[in-house]
Structure 1
Amino acid sequence: MDSLLWMLVGHALADYPLQGDWLSKAKNHTLSLIPGEAIWPGALASHAAIHAGAVKLSTGSWVLAGCEFIAHAIIDRTKCSGRLSYNVDQGLHVICKLAWFGALSLFGPLP
């Protein structure tokens, strides 16, 4: 149960103080913070990597960290496209943490 709680704490840190206003805007492909440059891919990847790092620290698993990286990037891109509300976005992130915890519970430590 500790790993689930640490993943949720990691999510709260990564989505609020570690994201900040600039990264929140920079990861959004519908905005242009630097005219003529598409910075959103790197910004979105960096944000997803912060979340993946929190999952790795919480679970010890690079596999689950990779799953988090992919899932977080997809969810946030979809939200930035206007197809998800803020609350649905946050709910999906929590569901992912539950899935990673479920995988740990079923399969034990993953590499």
Structure 2
Amino acid sequence: MIAFLTVLFWLVVGHSLADYPLQGDFLAQGKNRHTKIGAMFWPHCLFAHSMVHAGFVALVTGSIALGVCEAIVHAVTDFLKCEEKIGMRADQTIHFACKALWAAIAVGAFA
């Protein structure tokens, strides 16, 4: 249980950094295809933002496969938020649920 909580802690730290100070206004606006910046850059910005998250997951868990999973789920989730299919609470709930899943997988909770 301690290993799971340790990994989860660092994944949440990474998420907090990647979703707030490291995202910045350019990525926040650029990942949304409905904004002026996003009209031109949204695929690139959404990919870049998702890869920052993927990098944190891969670094914390030691698994590039989990990093790739994070990139995919994060991109889809943020796209849905930008399309107003889900709200901020659902967005963050999905992100944190994924962090719990990645932590459980990383420590072998399902083995």
| TM more than 0.5 | yes
User: What's the Cα RMSD here?
Assistant: 1.6
Identify the residue that residue 43 of structure 1 maps to in structure 2.
45
Q: Using structure 1 for the length normalisation, give the TM-score.
A: 0.89
| Greater per-residue helix proportion | 2
**1:27-66 maps to which residues of 2 (within 5 A)?**
27-33=31-37, 38-66=40-68
Aligned residue-pair number: 106
- Structure 1 residue runs of 4 or more that deviate by more than 4 Å after TM superposition: none
What's the CA shift for 1:32? Answer: 2.2
Q: Does 2:17 correspond to 1:13?
A: yes
Q: Using structure 2 for the length normalisation, give the TM-score.
A: 0.89
- Segment drifting more, 99-108 vs 60-69: 99-108
Contact 1:51–1:68 (CA<8 Å) still a contact in 2?
A: yes
d(CA) in 1 for partners of 2:93, 2:70: 14
What's the CA shift for 1:89? Answer: 0.5
| Identical pairs, percent | 42
**1:90-101 maps to which residues of 2 (within 5 A)?**
90-101=92-103
Quick one: which amino acid aligns to residue 87 of structure 1? R
Identify the residue that residue 27 of structure 2 maps to in structure 1.
23
Structure 1 portions without partners, runs of 5+: none
